[in-house]
Amino acid sequence: MSVRVRFAPSPTGPLHMGGVRTALYNYLFAKKHGGQFLLRIEDTDQGRYVPGAEEYIKESLEWCGLVPDESPWSGGPDDPYRQSERKALYKAYADELIAKDKAYYAFDTPEELDAMRGRLQAAGVAAPAYNAVTREHMKNSLTLSADEVKERLARGDQFVVRLKVPRHEEVRFEDLIRGWVVVHSSNIDDKVLFKSDGMPTYHLANIVDDHLMRITHVIRGEEWLPSAPLHVLIYEAFGWERPAFAHLPLILRPDGNGKLSKRDGDRLGFPVFSLDWTDPVSGEKSSGYREKGYFPDAFINMLALLGWNPGGDVEIMDRKQMIAHFDLARVHKGGARFDPEKTKWFNQQYLRMRPDAELGAQLQSKLKQREIVASEERATAAVALLKERATFVDDMLEGAYLFVEGSPLKGNDAAIEELRKRWKPEAAPALEAYITALGALTEGKAPAFEVAFNRVLSDTGLKVGQVMPLYRLFVAGRMQGPGMFDVSALLGREEVIVRLNAGLDLCRSWA
């Protein structure tokens, strides 16, 4: 059978990066085995539905390049792919389990359920449950006569359908990541599968849909591991072959203590969502990796290694390499600690690999937003100087001085304050001599500027540290940045001379 996997999020809010990683691992596994990657929206719990969440899921996956082969938006042979639109088919499967004596009707009111839990707690039961023992004392089709059950259903009494968990059985299954899992049925309660409003619970809809959609592998987060034995029982109750299970490790906080949450991101200043999100009810805003300036491939590369080791020391991988190397056997059992600084490192590596022309076009666009005109040629040349020190394209905006004419000291209070600390009148003759030397240059590449500068130092007897900081402040308006001879070559000797003269005039005015 062809490999078929699914990512099945609920539209209850923005898609957490842990959810994106689950989608990614499903995608990589499917592509590795020449199979299909499906997306199904699990929206049976309409009370938790959040407007805009489904669209957010779609946009997030598209940004990450994780486009499903079948989905609510692209369709497929198993349409529809929203559980709310599949509502009509679930009742027949609930009825089938009842007919097989694998499930039963339960008519207990909320008050009666509360009373049951109270009695059990008073008797010292720490975790009261509706199970093989307690169901014998409740109002359900196992304790009521067939006629009374029929009457209750006929008059429209509220009910749920519960799974009839067998007594004294071991539930066993092999998890592809964690090995064999064994749970005794006494630790599994009779979960609700179907409600009288016609909606299934997650447990029934999930299994029915996975069966009908021919899902071969269920790859999901470890928060679903406690539910896996229940799902195994439901497959057995139907007599269906179950898919293989693989439960992924948690993504942990940077300190390793507990699951990574939105609060951690807010507190420590990094996103936990792929895209910006505004809560439609509270109006609370959360930042996303896309809007922070991350490349989607860098984000995906980082996520892939949060819990999976492809072997060796390779960290930078493109999509094809990830697919080729992906193996569930190399997914860790333990949680993966998230490192926001490492995430920035990944983006830095991907930025450096981008063609200068591509980055130049992005820088040109961002400068335009600041009303700074930059030619395509100048922007591309500037990127070559700036990108080695940048993590994001926005970081290269600090090189805006490369695109404006005149002194970068104008209105630059920080640079002027730094210049006041460093200015020494004895450096003036060297800078004046350098200006004269630049006027005689016949070649405008960086080495020519360097030769002229070093000759001036030799002639005046001054050291680099006495002149270079002033050169940098006069021409670039900042103490950090690319090499000044490269900057000068990009600006051109005429512009460099203008800026050096402006800096000297300013410093002389302080005398």
Indicate which residues carry an active-site annotation: 262
The torsion angles phi and psi of 217, rounded to 5 degrees, stand at -140, 125
Judging by DSSP bridges, how do beta strands 336-337 and 217-221 pair with one another? Answer: unpaired
**Environment class of 117 (CB within 10 Å of its CB; exposed 0-12, middle 13-18, buried 19+):** middle
Element (H, E) at 195: strand 192-195
User: In sequence order, what DSSP letters do the residues of 62-97 get, joined into one string?
Assistant: HHHT---SBBTTTB-TT---BGGGGHHHHHHHHHHH
Measured distance CA(444)–CA(291) in Å, rounded: 39
Cis ω for the linkage preceding 340 (within 30 of 0):
no
Classified as helix, coil or strand, 508 is helix
Q: Residue 120 in 3-state DSSP?
A: helix
In contact, 227 and 255? CB cutoff 8 Å: no
Q: Which residue from 181, 293, 339 is spatially nearest to 245, judged by alpha carbons?
A: 181
Q: Which residue type, as a one-letter code, is found at position 268?
A: L
The torsion angles phi and psi of 252, rounded to 5 degrees, stand at -100, 160
Give the number of residues written for the chain: 511
Within 138-244, where are the H helices? 146-154, 202-212, 228-238
DSSP β-bridge partners for residue 39: 7
N-term to C-term CA, the chain: 86
- The number of C-alpha atoms within 13 Å of 173 and in the hemisphere containing its C-beta is 23
How far is the C-alpha of 112 from the C-alpha of 133, rounded, in Å?
Answer: 16
Nearest to 64 by CA among 41, 91, 39: 39
Paired residues of 173 in beta bridges: 181
Enumerate residues 6+ apart whose C-beta is below 8 A from 201: 44, 191, 192, 193, 194, 195
